[in-house]
Amino acid sequence: MAEIVNKIKLQIPAGKATPAPPVGTVLGPAGINLQEFCTKYNDATRDKMGDILPVEITVYDDRSFDFVIKTPPTAFLIKKTAKLKKGSSKGANETVGSLTQAQLKEIAEIKLPDLNCYTVEEAMKIVAGTAKNMGVTVEE
């Protein structure tokens, strides 16, 4: 069995990985085949086009690799759902948008596998905290 040499974390737009920077500059020194990674990643994420997806790449000593695709970042999902370009520059002191409880629950259900909690209600609290820090209010 090949030994793990490196673990790399990146956030890449779904279906749009190319050997050019930023992917190439990070993975090139690791010695893996950039074109092979880009092809596999793009095929695996084609159904989520437009989303930014974190990926965790495990590089082995024989230059082979595995990767695990995570759920989109919470802030990205909040901006997408609330139709915002960016969050507040002043944090919770400035309101830039709002989410309904149903939208909050939808985001929490998407994020649940990657969060450090067991129920959707706990995940909703985590997502609500992120939203508050972005200047997005949650309607009761």
The model's pTM is 0.75
104: pLDDT strictly greater than 80: yes
Of the candidate CATH numbers 3.30.1550.10, 3.40.718.10, 3.40.50.720, 1.10.1060.10, the domain formed by 4-69 belongs to 3.30.1550.10
Q: Is the peptide bond before 29 cis (omega within 30 degrees of 0)?
A: no
At 121, the amino acid letter reads E
For the stretch 20-77, pLDDT in tens is 888 888 888 888 888 888 888 888 888 888 788 888 989 888 888 888 888 888 888 8
Burial class (CB in 10 A: 0-12, 13-18, 19+), 106: middle
User: How far is the CA of 109 from the CAs of 18, 27, 29, 114, in angstroms?
Assistant: 30, 31, 36, 10
